[in-house]
Amino acid sequence: MDFLTDAMPAPTVTVVHTPTARATPAATRPPIVGLLRLASSLLGIVAPLARRSFSYVVSKPFWTTFALAYHPISYLLAPLFVFLNVLLDAFVLTPYTIVKAIAINVYPVYVFLGASLLCAACVGLGARLWVQALRYTIFGPKPTSRTARPPVAAPKGRKRVSIKEEK
């Protein structure tokens, strides 16, 4: 082993020492913080129970009174309910039913007309393209400038007419 240690140089390591952070003394919290945490957790548990209990105590007499008064109130307001039912039926449900029935019966015609218009547009566009192709084939490309232009009529001059007053 001495031969190997003499033959190989020892590795060198460079250590850079940086100052370490100083330890801060443990922060002591005042006892009120612990009491506030305890009060907060207890309030989080007690508040929903108190709310439910209060709502039950308040709503129980209301529902009892409502259950007792429901039948007499419904008999007293029955004419109003029937009138509102007739109005709803006459102005909302019947027109809706009529429009729905018409839409169901007209839908095939709507689809047929739409499909026929699309087909007609495709046939017309195809015919136009074929005519342009045949015209180009038979007559050749259009000339870029016209050689003989028709004579342009000169604009006529206007005559001035004035009215003279007689004295």
Tell me if 69 is assigned to some domain.
Answer: yes
> Do the domain assignments include residue 163?
no
Rounded to whole angstroms, the Cα distance separating 37 from 34 reads 5
Residue 85's φ and ψ, nearest 5 degrees, are: -65, -40
Query: So what's the pLDDT on residue 148?
Result: 62
The one-letter code for the residue type at 54 is F
The reply to whether 53 falls in a domain is yes
Using the predicted structure, report yes or no on whether residue 137 has a pLDDT greater than 90.
yes
pLDDT of res. 9: 60
Residue given tokens 């009120």 in the structure block = 32
3-state secondary structure of 165: coil
Give the CA distances from residue 120 to residues 103, 106, 126, 145, 150, in Å, rounded to whole numbers and listed in that order: 25, 21, 10, 35, 39
Whole-number pLDDT of residue 57: 86
pLDDT band at 150; cut points 50, 70, 90: low
For residue 7, being part of any structural domain is answered with: no
Domain containing 63: what range? 36-76
Tokens for 129?
């393209």
Please give the Cα distance from 93 to 85 (Å, whole number): 10
Report the amino acid identity of residue 69.
A
Burial of 149 (0-12, 13-18, 19+ CB in 10 A): exposed
3-state DSSP helix/strand/coil % of the chain, to nearest 5 = 70, 0, 30
Domain assignment present for 72: yes
DSSP state of 91: I
Length of the chain: 167
Q: Is residue 47 part of a domain?
A: yes
In a domain, 91, yes or no: no
Has residue 46 got a pLDDT over 60?
Answer: yes
Whose tokens are 């506030």? That residue is 36
Is the whole model's pTM more than 0.75, yes or no?
Answer: no
pLDDT higher than 90, residue 61: no
**CA-based radius of gyration for the chain:** 50
User: What was the pLDDT predicted at 25?
Assistant: 57
Amino acid at residue number 124: G
- The number of domains in the chain is 1
